[in-house]
Amino acid sequence: MNAHATPENDTTHGELHAELSGKFDTTAMATETTLLNPRFYTTDFDEMDRIDVTPVREEWDKLIAQMKSDPNKGHFKKNADWDKVDWDGMDPALRAEFIDFLVSSCTAEFSGCVLYKEMKRRGNNPDICELFNYMARDEARHAGFINDALREAGVAVNLGFLTKAKKYTYFRPKFIYYATYLSEKIGYARYITIYRHLEAHPEQRFHPIFKWFREWCNDEFSHGEAFALLMRTDPKLTTSFANKLWIRFFLTAVYSVMWVRDHARTDFHNALGVDIDWYDQEVYRKTSAIARQVFPIELDIDHPRWIPGLRRMTVAMNDMEKARKAGGIGGKIAHLSAMARAGLAFAGLYLIPVKHTTPPVNVRLEPIY
Ligand SMILES: [Fe+2]
Ligand SMILES: [Fe+2]
């Protein structure tokens, strides 16, 4: 029984679990491969195993020592700060978006865990194995903690099943560096921006998990640092003409997908009291400032074509999804036309002139936000 139960609407904890697990097949949600869902990656592990960290040895050893000391060892445990969650009283639209947010965050965290663990398992290089061991440890905790929150609602993701059933996308190592570096730093920026917002507006904190974000994001920050150092071992990765175009591509892709995904969750952001346009621009701004440590270019997110381009991309991608669901010949045609519009919107964003920057001699940064 709970405070919201009435004789007509008498929901016990068990019934709520049954109702939610009937509505939300979170394992299926996490397994599905779409353009917008977090993916699982695989790569050329032998090539990564051959990385020689000698050129960055001093900074490397400091970072590894910090990871080894495991500052967040006891952090991912529920304690007295974990207030009771009123899943039953939560507005159904908000509940659906919040579960979707937790599932997609859990999948993204677990995707890192799977990739890092595999690198550790396949590698022979002691530097690389040690790093990936610590990062896999952290991501396993992150995914597990989010899954605990889902379990309270009776909708935990079956992570063991996910490992076997989800499709893996192959990326060559340099693409793993660009994509993973960015997703770690964006992860940091996203978690800390929400944390700071809720620190100023605690009345909007509708779930206790947000209280854990500050220490959490420091893990993501140091994972990003590790990829920055890995990229520094081979200057070509960030200086050749072709690779600069790839970096630009990854920045545009990762930023625009984040925009589309966040703008699909209006109730969730309303409940937090966060304006999505503001939030996303703020996350880009922090990420871009951090990424100057290693990338020689940055996207101009204040350019007059930036936000209109993102909006066009959102409409086109939503139309693609609608057409996919509609099916049939009409659906196929509508899908193709929406895909062409999404492609054009992406090209428009990609072609906005970038800013050129010079990465500093010393790559390492500390989390300051
Ligand atoms: Fe993580
Ligand atoms: Fe991470």
* pLDDT averaged over 10-residue windows placed end to end, the chain, 369 residues: 42 76 87 84 95 96 97 94 90 94 95 96 96 97 96 93 92 96 97 97 96 96 97 95 97 96 96 98 98 97 98 96 92 96 98 95 89
Rounded to the nearest angstrom, the distance between the alpha carbon of 289 and the centre of ligand 1 is: 20
Rounded to the nearest angstrom, the distance between the alpha carbon of 3 and the centre of ligand 2 is: 38
Rounded to the nearest angstrom, the distance between the alpha carbon of 244 and the centre of ligand 1 is: 27
Instruction: Indicate whether 283 belongs to any domain.
Output: yes
Mapped to the 3 state alphabet, what secondary structure does the chain carry? CCCCCCCCCCCCHHHHHHHHHHHCCHHHHHHCCCCCCCCEEECCHHHHHCCCCHHHHHHHHHHHHHHHHCCCCCCCCCCCCCCCCCCCCCCHHHHHHHHHHHHHHHHHHHHHHHHHHHHHHHCCCHHHHHHHHHHHHHHHHHHHHHHHHHHHCCCCCCHHHHHHHCCEEECCHHHHHHHHHHHHHHHHHHHHHHHHHHHHCHHHCCCHHHHHHHHHHHHHHHHHHHHHHHHHCCCHHHHCHHHHHHHHHHHHHHHHHHHHHHHCCHHHHHHHCCCHHHHHHHHHHHHHHHHCCCCCEECCCCCCCHHHHHHHHHHHHHHHHHHHHHCHHHHHHHHHHHHHHHHHHHHHHHCCCCEECCCCCCCCCCCCC
Rounded to the nearest angstrom, the distance between the alpha carbon of 147 and the centre of ligand 1 is: 13
What range defines the domain where residue 226 resides? 13-294
User: Between β-strands 355-356 and 40-42, what pairing exists: parallel, antiparallel or unpaired?
Assistant: unpaired
Ligand nearest to the CA of 107: 1
Rounded to the nearest angstrom, the distance between the alpha carbon of 224 and the centre of ligand 2 is: 7
Which residues, in sequence order, are CB contacts of 297 under 8 Å at separation 6+?
Answer: 244, 247, 248, 251, 354, 355, 356, 357
Write down the pTM of the prediction: 0.92
Ligand nearest to the CA of 106: 1
Instruction: Indicate whether 312 belongs to any domain.
Output: no
Instruction: Indicate whether 340 belongs to any domain.
Output: no
**Domain count of the fold of the chain:** 1
Instruction: Indicate whether 194 belongs to any domain.
Output: yes
Instruction: Indicate whether 288 belongs to any domain.
Output: yes
Rounded to the nearest angstrom, the distance between the alpha carbon of 220 and the centre of ligand 2 is: 4
Ligand nearest to the CA of 115: 2
Which residues, in sequence order, are CB contacts of 343 under 8 Å at separation 6+?
Answer: none
User: Looking at residue 339, what is its pLDDT?
Assistant: 96
Rounded to the nearest angstrom, the distance between the alpha carbon of 116 and the centre of ligand 1 is: 11
User: Looking at residue 12, what is its pLDDT?
Assistant: 67
User: Looking at residue 149, what is its pLDDT?
Assistant: 95
Instruction: Indicate whether 7 belongs to any domain.
Output: no
Rounded to the nearest angstrom, the distance between the alpha carbon of 163 and the centre of ligand 1 is: 17
The enclosing domain of 253 has a CATH number of 1.10.620.20
Instruction: Indicate whether 363 belongs to any domain.
Output: no
Rounded to the nearest angstrom, the distance between the alpha carbon of 13 and the centre of ligand 1 is: 30
Rounded to the nearest angstrom, the distance between the alpha carbon of 336 and the centre of ligand 1 is: 35
Rounded to the nearest angstrom, the distance between the alpha carbon of 141 and the centre of ligand 2 is: 10
Ligand nearest to the CA of 227: 2
Rounded to the nearest angstrom, the distance between the alpha carbon of 227 and the centre of ligand 1 is: 14
Instruction: Indicate whether 195 belongs to any domain.
Output: yes
Rounded to the nearest angstrom, the distance between the alpha carbon of 184 and the centre of ligand 2 is: 5
